[in-house]
């Protein structure tokens, strides 16, 4: 069950030039040979609390990892780089970023790649796979998340949901040495992906897949399993532009007391249900795969309908079965009108302050591939 959840949930973020699926090749010397980068390639995070005595969020004991998953799918992996990362970690146990025991003489850690392991790339250069997560290497000061090593040159901000300058240098280095670069995001919290997008041909969110979920990685990369997950959150290009960033730790900002609205309101019934049948067809020349159909609604936000609302809200979704080339499946999506209500903190209801309200106006439903992109039909 854990592995199936991981297979269904992994999200293909990018796939330029059909880098994926990456065929494992044949056996022995005919196998596809890849080089893995990033400390998460050797110590991936399965989720919950770290694998130590802190069990506040539960403990995930990982019984599979990225290397074993790739091996099980037939890939050959670079043993020199794997051994180097293991050694570097033992030298600097407190490292929280993807550099090789960063020193004053080698502030990006790249020199150690060049001196110690770069000779092995030629034998494992069918693709590079970079496994990254947000560093999380932050402390809280004045309500802001800070990390003295995180800030990228020319970037005045630093926080725990971005890659840091040494991870960026790692991506640049890998991009210079390999024709195909695949990045795996071993993180379940939205993080900035701009630099990863810039220096990767393909990207996939693997999340924190639990004890055995890493077994799914090789099957998804090879195409044995078609990645069909979707992001439950928007991943902002710049998290500092997200309104929640200013609210972190409150920063001295307290909620404003609601103003009581004594005016009478009309109660609207909202018992109607919207039902839409959608047929999904796979192309005649396509690989077998699944797709997710998403039904969104947009509530009125005008001069007369003044409650602040998102531009688009997910109302329902459904995933197809695996469809072979040329096959189709019809999915049914449903949305209750009352679910499109907005919360009015100033509205009186039964003597209490605050109520859900369906403001008058035009409510638009649409089929989308995500919260931004509306399907043509």
Read off the pLDDT of each residue in 231-241 and give the average, rounded to a whole number: 85
Tell me the pLDDT tens digit for each residue of 310-335: 999 999 999 999 999 999 999 999 99
Q: Is it the case that residue 59 has pLDDT exceeding 90?
A: no
pLDDT band of residue 54 (cuts 50, 70, 90) is low
Q: With helix as H, strand as E and coil as C, how does the chain read? A: CHHHHHHHHCEEEEEHHHCCCCCCECCHHHECEEEEECHHHCCCCCCEECCCCCCCCCECCCCCCHHHHHHHCCCEECHHHHHHHHHHHHHCCCCCCCCCCCCCCCCCCHHHHHHHHHHHHHHHCCEEEEEECCCCCCEEECCEEECCCCCCCCCCCCCCCCCCHHHHHHHHHHHHHCCCEEEEECCCCCCCCHHHHHCCCEEEECCCCCCCHHHHHHHHHHCCCCCCCCCCCCCCCCHHHCHHHHHCCCCCCCCCCCCCECCCCCCCCCCCEEEEEEEEECCCCCCCECCEEEEEEECCCCCCCCCCCCCCEEEEEEECCCECCCCEEEEEEEEEHHHHCEEEEEEEECCEEEEEECCCCCCEEEEECCCCCECCC
pLDDT band of residue 154 (cuts 50, 70, 90) is low
pLDDT band of residue 68 (cuts 50, 70, 90) is very high
pLDDT band of residue 85 (cuts 50, 70, 90) is confident
Least confident range from 38-47, 221-230, 263-272, 344-353: namely: 263-272
pLDDT of residue 152: 59
> Which has the higher per-residue pLDDT, 133 or 69?
69
Q: Is it the case that residue 350 has pLDDT exceeding 80?
A: yes
Q: Is it the case that residue 105 has pLDDT exceeding 80?
A: no
pLDDT of residue 265: 40
Q: Is it the case that residue 139 has pLDDT exceeding 60?
A: no
Read off the pLDDT of each residue in 289-299 and give the average, rounded to a whole number: 94
Least confident range from 149-153, 281-285, 360-364: namely: 149-153
Read off the pLDDT of each residue in 220-233 and give the average, rounded to a whole number: 93
Q: Is it the case that residue 118 has pLDDT exceeding 50?
A: yes
pLDDT of residue 57: 60
Confidence (pTM): 0.80
Best-predicted range by mean pLDDT (68-77, 104-113, 282-291) = 68-77
């Amino acid at each position: 069950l854990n592995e199936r959840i991981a297979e269904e949930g992994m999200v293909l973020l990018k796939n330029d030039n059909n880098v994926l699926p990456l065929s494992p090749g044949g056996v022995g010397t005919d196998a596809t040979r890849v080089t893995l980068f990033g400390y998460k390639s050797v110590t991936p995070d399965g989720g919950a609390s770290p694998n130590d005595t802190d069990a506040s969020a539960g403990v995930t004991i990982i019984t599979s990892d990225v290397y074993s998953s790739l091996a099980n799918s037939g890939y050959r992996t670079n043993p020199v780089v794997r051994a180097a990362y293991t050694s570097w970690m033992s030298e600097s146990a407190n490292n929280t970023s993807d550099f090789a025991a960063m020193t004053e003489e080698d502030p990006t850690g790249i020199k150690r790649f060049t001196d110690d392991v770069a000779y092995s790339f030629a034998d494992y250069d069918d693709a590079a796979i970079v496994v990254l997560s947000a560093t999380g290497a932050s402390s809280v000061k004045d309500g802001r998340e800070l990390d003295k090593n995180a800030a990228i040159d020319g970037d005045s901000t630093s926080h725990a949901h971005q890659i840091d300058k040494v991870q960026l240098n790692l991506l640049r280095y890998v991009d210079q040495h390999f024709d195909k670069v695949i990045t795996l995001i071993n993180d379940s919290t939205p993080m900035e992906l701009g630099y990863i997008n810039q220096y990767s041909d393909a990207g996939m969110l693997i999340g924190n897949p639990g004890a055995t979920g890493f077994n799914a990685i090789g099957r998804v990369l090879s195409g044995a399993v078609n990645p069909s997950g979707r992001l439950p959150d928007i991943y902002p290009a710049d998290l500092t532009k997200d309104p929640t960033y200013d609210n972190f730790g409150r920063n001295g900002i307290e909620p404003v007391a609601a103003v009581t609205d004594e005016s009478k309101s009309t109660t609207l019934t909202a018992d109607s249900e919207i039902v839409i049948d959608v047929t999904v067809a796979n192309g005649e020349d396509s690989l077998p795969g699944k797709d997710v159909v998403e039904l969104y609604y947009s509530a009125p936000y005008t001069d007369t309908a003044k409650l602040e609302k998102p531009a688009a809200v997910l109302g329902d979704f459904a995933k197809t079965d695996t469809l072979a080339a040329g096959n189709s499946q019809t999915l049914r999506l449903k949305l209750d009108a009352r679910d499109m209500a907005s919360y009015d903190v100033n509205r009186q209801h039964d003597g209490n302050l605050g109520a859900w309200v369906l403001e008058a106006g035009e409510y638009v439903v649409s089929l989308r591939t995500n919260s931004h992109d509306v399907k043509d039909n």
